[in-house]
Structure 1
């Protein structure tokens, strides 16, 4: 069961973090003897189905342009094993996988505890022979994993397997003392799970990757950071940003492994056109056996979606009937309102905002719309799925391709 590692010099790709690209470089070693692991928080990958038992009506599915860019970035990342976070269900993850030129042959997602329904999952070029959920495991008297801590057993070759745990720890929303205690309990719980596996199989390599929602030096993550090896630690500190919010941003996404593993390269992918508020993280690991990757035919895919109806911004009932479905919203912009922080904006289509739908521009897309104020008084058409905000129909603008000014 042991994956034997070559004794090689630890080399890291130092320039990737500064590149304005969605590409991750090919492994320096021959691909047959290098394994690429990666993790990416996909930022609200939701489907078009309104689940009656979950409050998903306020989270719009990605528009077709964001889906295309997500698929392009995953394809360019070229990971053998990719852990993903913020995915609503297996159905939407499989749908995204089908948009890849080379779909992953193995896709898995286990439903977790999150009240919105965001889960963690995995895509793999190699067989997933076991998937073990820990969502019901008590961490202490008050906590369970906010989502889950599934551990996937992946068979790389005959007699060669690894264990991969994917995390999405509790966010920092709410009271700091409460969220800190929850993340600390999750880190301690994850360590106990891994220690139990290690006790049974001391030579099985273990990896934990995902969105830890805290920084490397945080006391909340100490149970894992003091035991496991952070494979991104050698990247220059100014480039170690996976959550670029605020002036500098911070690294809260990691790939951690048991100490017997050392990467030959690692990086953080920077792409200003990214559809996510997180950046992908990757690491390449040398092996002393050849990887026989399954042959996957190249598939050229397009977005053959059904016709999208054109609906006026004032037709609120028609828009509600299209909840989570795509529409062509038509209206004349009456005002542009920015949030207090200036990080997001809303386009109104009536002097009384209650009489028409609105268009929301989230923080991650604001830089793509530098001239929003010039839209006031102009008739526009916006292609987007419909969501609800406080009961009001809303479309979301993340890409200029969605917006067209009408004559």
Structure 2
């Protein structure tokens, strides 16, 4: 059989050309996938996966990036909502200068950093994780007001954890709150309780009443009581049951579910919370990025790991109200000083 080297060379050239066409097509698809920063149905680019650590070319540095813009002014026709784990704004034992000290409040430097971020972005409502007592909440509220952000309305709640609680601060009236009493689940033959509970509050806003469900699921930390992942899944089921009951009663509810979920996007707990896809009960995910296009929201400094644990989900009636150009992960200069989490800005108009 006669071997033609030119024919083999032509085949290689043709194969390389087809490969380049394919890669170019994939690149265009991925670039086109994010014009709105994450509409309800995630695109092929979202499905490609998500690394817990950003690529080396954009690896976060020990110092946070520059502020993303000038101070924002509240709009009478929009809702600016920020979800934020403020990392232990409470009294606890802390390591200070390498020594363990008992019953210490969050350092003022960290508090001032959080206040600076919040005042800069002028939210109408803040959903808080890891706030302590009502006195701690009043401390934050007072510091914000002194710095120029007056949020006179508040709601403070929690679950079986007496230390770390949930709360909201709001410029707008809180018209109702609900306390979910069924916060227990069975696991490994034990009856266990949802540590931080579920915050449930409805706020009167320029876009109509918005119902907020805030959570802080079981941390990614091993405990002797049970498997930490199964605990988080069980808490996710309780949240999903509560969201389902709300949407079954009134599918038109403008529902926002937010908080620190301590899990990655494709985990069982996150899938559970989102609910059955393409039904009135499903929750969309706000796929938020910072000024550099990064999605991480939590920095575990000890292991140098960056993960996306914080989310904003929403019911279908909210989708058409989202101002995607304004929604983002906040990466202000004070970020890594104030908390090990980054705040999420979600805007409706």
TM-score by length of 1: 0.58
CA–CA distance in 2 between the matches of 1:235 and 1:260?
25
Q: How far off is 1:280 after superposition?
A: 0.5
Q: Which residue of 1 aligns with 2:89?
A: 45
Match of 2:212 among 164, 174, 177: 164
Q: Deviations over 1:117-159 (max 9, x none)?
A: 11010011111122222255334463332211021011125x9
1:146 aligns with 2:190: no
Q: 1:10 to 1:91 in 2, by over 3 A?
A: farther
Matches within 5 A, 1:182-221: 182-221=231-270
Q: Alpha-carbon deviation of 1:173?
A: 0.8
Over residues 54-110 of structure 1, what are the superposed CA-to-partner deviations in whole Å (9 max), with x where a residue is unaligned? xxx745212222222221111113211110011111211111111112220111101
Residue aligning to 2:318:
261
Question: Shift of residue 44 of structure 1?
Answer: 0.7
2:338 to 249, 270, 275: 275
Contact 1:21 1:269 in 2 (8 A): no
In structure 2, relative to structure 1, the CA distance for the partners of 1:22 and 1:66 (3 Å cut) is: farther
User: Is 1:11–2:36 an aligned residue pair?
Assistant: yes
Give the equivalent residue in structure 1 for 2:11. Answer: none
Partner residue, 1:363: none
Secondary structure of the corresponding residue to residue 318 of structure 2: coil
Change (3 A) 1:248 1:25: farther
Structure 1 residue 128 corresponds to structure 2 residue 174: yes
Distance in 2 between residues matched to 1:27 and 1:10, nearest whole Å:
22
Instruction: Select 1:114's aligned residue among 155, 161, 173.
Output: 161
Q: Which runs of 5+ in 2 are unaligned?
A: 1-33, 39-58, 94-100, 276-281
Q: Contact 2:37/2:286 (CA < 8 Å) preserved in 1?
A: no
More helix by share: 2
1:96 equivalenced with 2:140 (yes/no): yes
Number of residue pairs aligned between Structure 1 and Structure 2: 266
CA contact (8 A) 1:149 1:190 kept: yes
| Distance across 1 between alignment mates of 2:149 and 2:111 | 15
Query: SS at 2:299's partner residue?
Result: coil
CA RMSD of aligned residues (A): 3.3
Counterpart CA distance in 1 for 2:35 and 2:255 is 19
Q: CA deviation digits over 1:9-37, x for unaligned, max 9?
A: 97349xxx988245566779x92332111
Q: Does 1:20 align with 2:65?
A: yes
- Tell me what 2:107 maps to: 63
Q: Flag as ranges the 4+ runs of structure 1 deviating above 4 A.
A: 22-28, 233-238
Seen in structure 2, the aligned counterparts of structure 1 residues 236 and 178 have a Cα distance that, compared at 3 Å, is farther
* Residues 383-394 of structure 1 mapped to structure 2, 5 A cutoff: none
Q: 1:233: Cα distance to partner?
A: 5.1
| TM-score, normalised with respect to structure 2 | 0.67
* Shift in alpha-carbon separation, 1:181–1:276, aligned structure 2, 3 A: same
| 3-state SS of 1:192 partner | helix
CA distance, structure 2, for counterparts of residue 139 and residue 153 of structure 1? 26
Q: Deviations over 1:27-53 (max 9, x none)?
A: 79x92332111111111111599xxxx
